[in-house]
Structure 1
């Protein structure tokens, strides 16, 4: 580590604490709080670089990096949040969520709604980003809360942790599939990442579910209709759509994204599972924003003719307003992450790791977990933490003792992906867009979201680490 390394890491910690204090204690809006933390770290990094006598600034063009980070994250997820929120608003206003809640609870029973939300989330997030999945499924979570009388915080946390588990471990979600590629796992080895990822993610999903059921039942939600009975809510609608029609706006975008992800799986050096013109079409409709736009169209088809004018105006407008808060906060988080990425922090972590010769085997899995956890907590994005950590570790796999094989399984590399995924769960807090999606759509205050969602992601990450270390002890 260079002489400025400790100062930069301390500055990063101060910036994160500042964001938390501004939001939780001073009640400053999260958008302004995250920007304050962003500029605190950015300007502080410039000062550290200047005082150290560096040849150039620690961050080239701070304002440009902030703007680029803000814009890039919105380019990736802004339309997803917007379209998903509109779908949710239409599903609620047409009564489609009533049909969905009845269907899910007929299948799983009224006594296990949290288990149902966890299972639905785990399946959904294999092909779909957890942010997108939560936005699309949040109306179902709220309707089941009314139907069963269960605390929306419990159901929201169960849904969030189910989504989060498969998001960080199971390809074709972008993070783990990128880590596999960075570490040198070829197409033939990717199936083992999927197999081990499913196993580890199911255990972490169960840990999140237990946390939701046992530790969040006493927390309160600010959803205005959270205390309304299901029958009172149901009586508001003149005609409720059928279960099949109600499912379409949710399953259509999820299905399109899933098909797009699977079709893009590599089958060779320059080929994918679906190539040619068909591959182009599948790739286009599988883009989350396009898939969710088609979901909006499917949702609008639920409208009774007498309500078209109101729906196309008021309901869609309400969805846009609801999405605006989350979108702006998400953009600020993207700016913070971009500033950290543009600083010397990633290089300091590489220098701290050195050539990797001081660690090996199971201990190296712990090191990979720690690096991913540091990056995740600092900059917010699980996918970015996975990609950066795997890029740092890629040239060190042999030195770290993680190139061993177990028959046809590149077990060392597979467990490295699992360790990085577990680290990328620790923790989701105010600089993570997923934190705001979960808290806003579940009616959690920041304090409540820390006690429910953030704590659950810590439990999940540590659970994943324990599972990976046990597998390492047995298989490496």
Structure 2
């Protein structure tokens, strides 16, 4: 049955892409229809399909959706205060705009989720490079680093479950993350256009009809706010560590709360207003930056919500775990044994959409297999955990809100997103597992 469900899922994905490509259905409607259709095809009842989709939709909008709204507020204030146009003009003189985005993605990979990190960095990315290439570089940098860096939750989960050596994981993970970011950046160059969209210049308070109010100050505010929000997401990851390195109890709850979407929204918007000095009464109205931001964010919030609904339906079927379990009898010899944790995580991630769930599931399946596979030593367990992390980031697609954030930011349709972001992430995963097997071969 699980094979049939996986086949139905692939059919739903193909039909969705073809239908949207031909312009027959609006994206949100098409994704909702695909999710419900898959649920029925997978054998779920009407009550079960409706409950799962609604639950996934609500959870995703509450989490990622609110972060998207907060980022939209920051972007709208940056546009109105002149920060976007000012930084975009400065960036035109840079030798490369991909490098700063790649570095941002490498550092922000330790955030609680790559989707949240991409959202909060989007206003800054728009100013640096509002192009398909810029979005793809940042997206692949975040995806590659998140899978192999501690304390990113994906790597944190796999390392904890498999009893990996954290110091060794950090020592291998950092250069590996840098390699994956480089691979993503090189892949993005020919895969996506570097042509930027027109910079938004919707200021509420023009001076002399042409000069924007304090654009340099607003640019500094945009950079500062972006870094603060990334730091808050990183602190949330540190707060999730079971050993409580930053303290437990109420302190831990506070640290975790720093990365909550509503806190990011309030802190980000408030800081941007205060630091930029853009306090116009009109800005808070429907005609000002607040109204414009909500209009821009609405369609994306609905889209990531529908992706969350599809993800929840896929998780409820249990097909990801059942199909992954088919590989448990596979025992590759020597360094090739690392292919198993990578493949387990990649299958679960592709079929159900959540990288963290994929990492937890795959690492749990590997717990009793590290011994038989010859990986029951500190280095072997660490490399297996890194293999799980690399696999858990493979092939983001329509059931993943991160896919939609990057695709929409890069003005990529679903088919183009699959050919660029999904394929780029798979390439990063293959490079990562190859590097890990080489390390195992050399070390043994």
Change in 2 beyond 3 A, CA 1:86/1:361 = farther
- Does residue 342 of structure 1 match 2:307? no
State the alpha-carbon separation in 1 of the partners of residues 223 and 331 from structure 2: 53
Residue in structure 2 matched with residue 54 of structure 1 by the alignment: none
Residue in structure 1 matched with residue 295 of structure 2 by the alignment: 321
Q: Say if 1:435 and 1:453, in contact at 8 Å, map to a contact too.
A: yes
Give the TM-score taking structure 1 as reference length.
Answer: 0.82
Task: Give ranges in structure 2 of 5+ residues lacking alignment.
Answer: 202-208
Q: How many residues align?
A: 435
Q: Say if 2:17 and 2:415, in contact at 8 Å, map to a contact too.
A: no
- Does residue 184 of structure 1 match 2:174? no
1:198 alignment partner, one of 149, 160, 174: 174
Q: Which digits, 9 at most, give the CA deviation of each residue in 1:259-306, with x for residues without a partner?
A: 333344343xxx443234444433322434413421111012245566
- Give the superposition deviation at 1:311: 4.3
- Give the superposition deviation at 1:175: 1.3
Change in 2 beyond 3 A, CA 1:335/1:226 = same
Q: Which digits, 9 at most, give the CA deviation of each residue in 1:161-206, with x for residues without a partner?
A: 1111112221222111111222233xxx323222222222111110
- Does residue 456 of structure 1 match 2:432? no
Residue in structure 1 matched with residue 352 of structure 2 by the alignment: 379
Change in 2 beyond 3 A, CA 1:302/1:264 = same
- Give the superposition deviation at 1:312: 5.0
Q: Which digits, 9 at most, give the CA deviation of each residue in 1:415-468, with x for residues without a partner?
A: 112212222232122222112111222333334433432332222222222212
Change in 2 beyond 3 A, CA 1:375/1:237 = same
Residue in structure 1 matched with residue 404 of structure 2 by the alignment: 436
Residue in structure 1 matched with residue 255 of structure 2 by the alignment: 282
What is the correspondence of 1:136-147 to structure 2 with a 5 Å cutoff?
136-145=120-129
- Give the superposition deviation at 1:472: 2.5
3-state secondary structure, aligned to 1:401 = coil
Moved more, 94-103 or 204-213: 94-103
- Does residue 130 of structure 1 match 2:114? yes
- Does residue 239 of structure 1 match 2:239? no
- Give the superposition deviation at 1:133: 2.1
Q: Say if 2:52 and 2:309, in contact at 8 Å, map to a contact too.
A: yes
Change in 2 beyond 3 A, CA 1:42/1:206 = same
Change in 2 beyond 3 A, CA 1:193/1:45 = same
Change in 2 beyond 3 A, CA 1:259/1:431 = closer
Give the TM-score taking structure 2 as reference length.
Answer: 0.88
Q: Say if 1:120 and 1:159, in contact at 8 Å, map to a contact too.
A: yes
Q: Say if 1:142 and 1:226, in contact at 8 Å, map to a contact too.
A: no
1:363 alignment partner, one of 323, 336, 339: 336
Task: Give ranges in structure 1 of 5+ residues lacking alignment.
Answer: 47-56, 146-150, 228-233, 405-409
State the alpha-carbon separation in 2 of the partners of residues 250 and 347 from structure 1: 37
Q: Say if 1:241 and 1:302, in contact at 8 Å, map to a contact too.
A: no
Residue in structure 2 matched with residue 296 of structure 1 by the alignment: 269
- Does residue 41 of structure 1 match 2:59? no
- Does residue 94 of structure 1 match 2:81? yes
2:392 alignment partner, one of 424, 434, 459: 424
